[in-house]
């Protein structure tokens, strides 16, 4: 999704902007641009496609001494990914970059066009710069004009603006899309839409709140809040080591992240397991007082981990549980009662739809909890309580280790709640904790397994579709397996409950329909097997994943014999991730940055 960077200072502005954008690259984008103001002279460059194209265009461009600059990676929403639609957008003598959506841009644009203003792009963003210049014409003061412009915008945005009328200043505003500013002892100011571009550059950062706006110059950082009150920055320190992961010999970040799962799950378990108790120091037990239902809400892969959680909460903790897709929940006028704990799940903590549901739940007076991978993200700052998943920075757009740690957290949390509610006896709890300790081993990728999947993948590059099927928690895993394949191979895949195939999809069965069957030994094995046999009898090509050899399968990927179905879950999770990876690689796709997708979706 779109990314913003900004810089004010006397160092190499071009390089700082470009390397900041590089840090945001993994979020997904289709064009990029920068604008730099030095003295009263602007230089702006834009390019479609990857950042190397922008680097190439700016090869000859240098700055000398103090400058202000803004940069952007764009993930197209309004208008195609063209150079004209790429940010920064120019007015007469100002440039703007923006994340989010200006919902009333058509009204604003129509009025501006009626006054004779010419628009170059199809974007919503361009209205900001023209509206600003209109206001500047009347107000004769850049900050007054900027403040007025902000009041005229509806929607969600984070924006930076630079103008010749105040050449050593960057104006900023944040409403609904994340943005932070960093400072250092040399008086430099750095902006970005997430932490990573600022690491190593700024020691202290201020995360803007919704409604914050203001400006920076050499000497000042001036912030007004949504009530137009001057506020002091709330600085927090930022890690100093560059987290920007390197591929360490792996072909893709996704591959590296699959291999990292054992370590990051061990981190996620660390300090949280005792012999007969789960410990979440970050939670106050009173969070669960008076709670009769848990409602989980998320998007994408995080939604699949929420579905897994719902099985575990009901099975282990005996608490009623429901799961919602955030974009649906927002607009369906849901009934919310105060005996419900509202849990949002998000790798990034910034997904616009999920964030909005969290706000709704808070406004309705519900207790809220976020399970998240990014500390200081918008959701972490907003929710009453937070559990961090400790997956580390995830760069591959297709989420793997974040999902693995989410499910790990939910397994622990369901046992934690089970203990609070006396729903599981001590022996039962001890047994579960013993199993939890085995997850890191069950997700280790062996050479043998990887080689087998690599070899087998060549048989799955065509066909008219994939069905991943499973029962119980293996149904959300089937959904997740299908999502992974869709995301990076661009082949059509669906996840389906095994028992539901005969109610429609089985009509599609033929040798070109590939069924990826999840057949755990410890959960409804016979039932699931019968469902696969029904498909095999109709000549669907079957790839079975199971610890038990299955002779009706065309292909078979064995997993280790485990003590419990949840360990089988984790073993199979790795298999479906690797299968998607290898199919995508064979198809020659960009595994880490698949077409049309964004890592962090900050628009609804």
Residues that bind ligand G6P (CB under 6 A): 299-302, 346-348, 351, 354, 397, 399, 597-601
DSSP 182-237: EE-TT--EEEESSSGGGTTT-SEEEEPPTTEEEEE-SS-EEEE-TTS-EE----EE
* Smallest distance from ligand G6P to CB 534, Å: 32
φ and ψ of 20, to 5 deg:
-65, -45
User: If you search the block for the tokens 């009204």, which residue do you land on?
Assistant: 107
CA-based torsion, 277, 394, 202, 165: positive or negative? negative
Residue nearest to ligand G6P (CB): 300
Give the nearer residue to ligand G6P in terms of CB position, either 354 or 536: 354
Residue placing its CB nearer to ligand G6P in the complex, 196 or 536: 196
Shortest gap between Cβ of 372 and ligand G6P (angstroms)? Answer: 8
Collect all residues with Cβ–Cβ distance below 8 Å to 430 and sequence separation of at least 6. Answer: 275, 276
Q: Which is nearer to ligand G6P, 92 or 328 (CB)?
A: 328
Note whether 515 and 540 are within 8 A (CB): yes
Distance CA 601, CA 604 (A): 8
Q: Which of 96, 180 has the CB closer to ligand G6P?
A: 180
Q: Which of 2, 299, 543, 562 is catalytic?
A: 2
Task: In angstroms, give the least distance from the CB of 554 to ligand G6P.
Answer: 30
Enclosing H/E stretch for 108:
helix 105-114
| Tokens representing residue 492 in the block | 């059509």
Taking the CB of residue 12, how many other CB atoms lie within 10 A of it? 15
Strands laid side by side in the 367-372 sheet: 320-325, 293-298, 340-346, 367-372, 385-388
Give the nearest distance from C-beta 420 to ligand G6P in angstroms: 27
Q: Is 2 a catalytic residue?
A: yes
Looking only at Cα atoms, what is the longest distance across the chain? 80
Instruction: Give the shortest CB-193-to-ligand G6P separation in angstroms.
Output: 14
Nearer to ligand G6P, 63 or 406 (CB): 406
Strand 94-102 and strand 89-90: the pairing is antiparallel
Q: Select 178 or 300, whichever has its Cβ closest to ligand G6P.
A: 300
**Is 454 one of the annotated active-site residues of the chain?**
no
How far apart (Å, rounded) are the C-alpha atoms in residues 160 and 353? 23
- Least CB distance from residue 490 to ligand G6P, whole Å? 14
| Catalytic sites, residue numbers | 2, 599
């Amino acid at each position: 999704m779109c990314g913003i960077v900004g810089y004010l200072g006397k160092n190499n502005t071009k390089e700082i902007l470009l390397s900041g954008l590089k840090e945001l690259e993994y979020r997904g984008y289709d064009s990029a641009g920068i604008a730099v103001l030095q003295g009263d002279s602007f230089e702006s460059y834009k390019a479609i496609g990857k950042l190397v194209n922008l680097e190439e265009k700016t090869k000859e461009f240098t700055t000398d001494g103090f400058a202000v600059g803004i940069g952007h990676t764009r993930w197209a929403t309004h208008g195609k990914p063209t150079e004209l639609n790429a940010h920064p957008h120019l007015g007469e003598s100002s440039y703007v970059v923006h994340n989010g959506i200006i919902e009333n841009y058509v009204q604003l644009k129509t009025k501006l066009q009626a006054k004779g203003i010419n628009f170059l792009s199809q974007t919503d963003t361009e209205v900001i710069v023209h509206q600003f210049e209109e206001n500047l014409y009347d107000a004769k003061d850049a900050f007054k004009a900027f403040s007025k412009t902000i009041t005229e915008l509806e929607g969600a945005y984070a924006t930076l603006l630079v103008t010749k009328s105040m050449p050593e200043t960057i104006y900023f505003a944040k409403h609904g899309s994340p943005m932070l500013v960093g400072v250092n002892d040399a008086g430099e100011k750095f902006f970005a839409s997430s932490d990573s571009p600022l690491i190593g550059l700024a020691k202290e950062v201020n995360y803007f709140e919704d409604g914050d706006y203001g400006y920076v110059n050499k000497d000042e950082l001036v912030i007004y809040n949504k009530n137009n009150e001057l506020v002091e920055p709330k600085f927090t320190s930022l890690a100093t080591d560059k987290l920007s992961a390197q591929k360490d010999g792996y072909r893709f970040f996704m591959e590296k992240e699959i291999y990292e799962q054992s370590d990051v799950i061990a981190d996620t378990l660390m300090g949280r397991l005792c012999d007969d108790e789960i410990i979440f120091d970050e939670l106050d037990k009173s969070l669960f007082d008076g709670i009769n239902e848990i409602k989980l809400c998320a998007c994408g892969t995080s939604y699949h981990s929420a579905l897994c959680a719902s099985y575990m909460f009901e099975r282990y903790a005996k608490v009623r549980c429901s799961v919602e897709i955030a974009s649906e929940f927002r607009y369906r006028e849901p009934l919310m009662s105060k005996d419900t704990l509202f849990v949002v799940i998000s790798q990034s903590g910034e997904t616009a739809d999920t964030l909005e549901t969290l706000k709704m739940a808070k406004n309705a007076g519900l207790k809220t909890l976020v399970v998240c991978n990014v500390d200081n993200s918008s959701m972490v700052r907003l929710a009453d309580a937070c559990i961090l998943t400790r997956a580390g920075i995830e760069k591959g757009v297709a989420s793997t280790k974040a999902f693995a740690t989410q499910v790990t957290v939910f397994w622990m949390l369901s046992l934690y709640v089970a203990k609070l509610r006396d729903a599981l006896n001590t022996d039962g709890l001890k047994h579960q904790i013993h199993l939890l300790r085995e997850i890191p081993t069950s997700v280790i990728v062996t050479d043998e397994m990887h080689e087998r999947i690599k070899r087998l993948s060549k048989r799955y590059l065509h066909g008219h579709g994939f069905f991943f099927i499973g029962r119980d928690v293996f149904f959300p895993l089937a959904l997740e397996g299908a999502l992974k394949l869709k995301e990076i191979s661009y082949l059509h895949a669906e996840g389906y409950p095994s028992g539901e195939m005969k109610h429609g999809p089985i009509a599609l069965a033929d040798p070109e329909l590939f069924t990826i069957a999840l057949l755990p030994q410890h959960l409804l094995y016979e039932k699931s097997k019968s469902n696969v046999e029904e498909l095999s009898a109709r000549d669907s090509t079957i790839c079975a994943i199971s610890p038990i050899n299955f002779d009706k399968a065309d292909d078979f990927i064995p997993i280790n014999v485990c003590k419990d179905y949840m360990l089988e879950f984790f073993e199979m999770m790795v298999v479906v991730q690797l299968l998607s990876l290898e199919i995508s690689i064979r198809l020659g796709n960009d595994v880490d940055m698949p077409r049309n997708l964004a890592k962090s979706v900050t628009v609804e």
